[in-house]
Structure 1
Amino acid sequence: MLVKVVDDGASIGFLPPMKQETAIRYWESVPAPDVILYVAKVGDNIAGSVQLHLCTKENGTHRAEIAKLMTHPDFRRKGIARTLMQTAEERARQENRKLLVLDTREGDPSNLLYRSLGFVEAGRIPDFAQSENGSLDATVFYYKRLT
């Protein structure tokens, strides 16, 4: 799924074309005590995933970061990303987290999703991430206070 998502243009830290070996190395690095991974399946197919990174710094145990939300192109616009986000948010509450943060490329459809879920734009950084064609794109930072 990661290869397909990256090759389809998602800005999640990699550039297309993505090699299978790179994806395997990435997934092998994900498991950690402070990372909670959710995977959505449709039948036998992995349709999406999201990570909740729990901050372990002494002054940050009240917050978590949403990372690497992705939906396989064959399963987009079916509510999978929304469900993954809601699941991660609920887990953050269970972990007594009061603040969620995330960032995404300016102009991507994910901006609409995050705003619809109650995330508030905190700011933008220009030229944050390189695209396949070499252009530099801004990233938008969001936060959400959990009650």
Structure 2
Amino acid sequence: MTMTLAITDIPALDDGRLRTELEALLEDAVNGGASVGYHAPLESHWKRAFWDGVAGLLSSGAHRLLIARGSEGELLGSVQLALCTKPNGSHRAEVQKLLVFTRHRRRGVARSLMAAVEETARGLGRSLLVLDTLKGDGGEPFYEATGWQRAGLIPGYTVEADGAFGDTVLFYKSL
């Protein structure tokens, strides 16, 4: 079931309420098994450090943060776009950290965020997007179903909570 939502491009993380919501989103995603660089249970200092880092990237102008809110104003999810700043990469960007609250998954939030981040990239003159996801993660079939092309696999890219190495799958999409 698709839900009604509004997607907003956030230029800065200077709103305390939004920061609290985003920290809760990251914690929910990690504790729900999302492969976003952290292990559960997520400690408070990691949540703050993560969003502090995003705040710094936003201030550089080479990073975008899109959030989705439901009809009641509740935060549903977010996605980031890292713009390549090198002269030979002005046509490309990396989609990062697609996060959706577990209670709102399978309702079209991720698809809407991905469509919005692709449109944002187009508006910024980007024609090639890349991303990566853990092999075997739920993201892998989702990206394939939304038109992303598998570019390859890097073995042993991550260290999982149990100490095992995880492979990452690289995807791209031409806009």
**TM-score, length of structure 1 as denominator length:** 0.95
- The aligned counterpart of 2:30 is 6
Give, as a single letter, the amino acid of the residue that structure 2 aligns with 1:34. A
Q: 2:99 aligns with which of 70, 73, 95?
A: 70
Q: 2:65 aligns with which of 21, 24, 37?
A: 37
Deviations along 1:26-83, whole A, 9 cap, x unmatched?
A: 1121032111101112224221110011110111000000000011111110010010
Q: Which moved more, 1:4-13 or 1:99-108?
A: 4-13
- The aligned counterpart of 2:125 is 96
SS of residue matched to 1:30: helix
The number of equivalent residue pairs is: 146
CA distance in 2, matches of 1:72, 1:20: 17
Deviations along 1:109-145, whole A, 9 cap, x unmatched?
A: 1111111121100000111111122111100000011
- The aligned counterpart of 1:145 is 174
Q: CA deviation at 1:14?
A: 1.0
What are the ranges of 5 or more consecutive residues in structure 2 without an aligned counterpart? 1-24
Structure 1 residue ranges (4+ consecutive) displaced by more than 3 angstroms after TM superposition: none
Percent identity at matched positions? 41
Give, as a single letter, the amino acid of the residue that structure 1 aligns with 2:137. D
**TM-score, length of structure 2 as denominator length:** 0.80
CA distance in 2, matches of 1:4, 1:130: 20
8 Å CA contact retained: 1:128, 1:137: yes
CA distance in 1, matches of 2:98, 2:173: 16
Alignment of 1:46-125 (within 5 A): 46-125=75-154
Q: Which moved more, 1:106-115 or 1:85-94?
A: 106-115
Give, as a single letter, the amino acid of the residue that structure 2 aligns with 1:131. E
- The aligned counterpart of 2:161 is 132
The alignment's C-alpha RMSD in Å is: 1.0
CA distance in 2, matches of 1:63, 1:140: 18
CA distance in 2, matches of 1:9, 1:132: 11
CA distance in 2, matches of 1:17, 1:64: 30
Give, as a single letter, the amino acid of the residue that structure 2 aligns with 1:133. D
What are the ranges of 5 or more consecutive residues in structure 1 without an aligned counterpart? none
SS of residue matched to 2:37: coil
